[in-house]
Amino acid sequence: MLDGALSFLFIPVIELAAFACVYAMAARRELPFADAVNRFFAGNTPWLLWLVTLAAAGCFVPPQYTGRAFRLLEYAAVVPILWSMVIDFRFFRDTTTQSPRHAIRDVIRMRAIAWPIGIAYFFGIAIWSDAAFILSQWVRR
């Protein structure tokens, strides 16, 4: 369990770094950084619920159906993606920005910083084989 937690420590670390960047760029800061971080991480609830559902599928679904269950949950990830965007939008409106337009910009900034780094780390070097293939196909056209 500790090992799994250590393996996925990169997610909160990258989130924290991305949030620090967005916070530093913000025009208005209603909360001190520590409090803002605390409130921001509370917005991870949709992802935590999705992860527990994933773990429950691993625990209770018979092995012959786990593949299908995981595929369904992969599609269901659209729910935490959208839900967490709504939560982050509200958070940025309340704490760092005033207008909805700026809140949307901060939500996009957060993801533009955190997601590529997280994906690059998690999927690692192998992502280059696929990326290079897609790029070469595109260049050939």
- Residues near other proteins (CB under 8 A) are 1, 3-4, 6-8, 38-39, 42, 45, 48-49, 52, 55-56, 58-60, 62-68, 70, 121-126, 128-130, 132-133
Q: Which two tokens stand for residue 3?
A: 């090992």
Distance CA 65, CA 55 (A): 14
Residue 40, number of CB atoms within 10 A of its CB: 22
Min separation Cβ 75 and other proteins, Å: 16
CB of 77 to other proteins, least distance (A): 15
**Cβ neighbours around 18 below 10 Å, total:** 19
Q: Which is nearer to other proteins, 66 or 105 (CB)?
A: 66
What angle separates helix 10-25 from helix 33-42, to the nearest 10 degrees? 130
| Least separation in angstroms between CB 60 and other proteins | 7
**108 or 119: CB nearest other proteins:** 119
